[in-house]
Structure 1
Amino acid sequence: MPVRPEHGVTTQVAEDGCLVLLTEARDTTFRCSPVAAAMWIALRQHDGHVGEASRMLAELWGTAPENTRSDMDIWVSELRDAGLVRDEP
């Protein structure tokens, strides 16, 4: 199931490589690490499919695919809990 940004959420990558998510509805800013920025970019490149994005990152980073997938699942869950992303059927 693809993951999409919630309506009104915009993103940018800061000069220091961190991911910044801005919420229009709550006028709130969330800041994530440069690793999260890479995960976000991979997620968007793979149309919201966590499995495909995590496989690509695991290959690029030379990490175990199951570990990268687990890390992405945890991170996406945190974004979902914060109301920043949603699952789409």
Structure 2
Amino acid sequence: MRVRPVSGLSVNVDAHGRLDVIPEPAAPARRVRCGPVGTAMWLALRQCDGDVAAAARMLASLWDTEPANARADLDIWVDELRDAGLVRTEL
């Protein structure tokens, strides 16, 4: 499964590692702000070309945790972004 940002997003990361994903004003999506964990997940997904499994493996390695745990956390976070209208899934 691959996850892609929808078009028309503005993405910013502040000095404290907080990610701010802002849709264009006319978009049917809502703004989301994430802490450093959400920022790491966003970056991992982008670095892995939206491949959720690869991003989970990358995060598990970085965080020294089980890949299944990283994948579960990533899946929950992706669902939240999908519900906010910020990402779409490609099978």
TM-score (norm 1): 0.92
Task: Identify unmatched segments of 5+ residues in structure 2.
Answer: none
Task: Identify unmatched segments of 5+ residues in structure 1.
Answer: none
Paired residue secondary structure (1:7): coil
Query: 1:88, CA displacement in angstroms?
Result: 2.2
Aligned to 1:55: 57
- Distance in 2 (alpha carbons) for counterparts of 1:29 and 1:6: 13
Paired residue secondary structure (1:17): coil
Question: Which of 4, 21, 31 is the equivalent residue of 1:29?
Answer: 31
Paired residue secondary structure (2:65): coil
Aligned to 2:69: 67
Per-residue Cα deviation, 1:11-66 (whole angstroms, up to 9, x for no partner): 11111101100100349532111100001000000000010001011011101110
Aligned to 2:46: 44
Query: Size of the alignment, in residue pairs?
Result: 89
Cα 1:28–1:69, aligned 2, differ >3 Å: closer, same or farther?
closer
The alignment yields a C-alpha RMSD, in angstroms, of 1.5
**Which contiguous aligned blocks of 4+ residues in structure 1 show a shift greater than 2 angstroms?**
25-29
> Percent of aligned positions with the same letter in both sequences?
56
TM-score (norm 2): 0.90
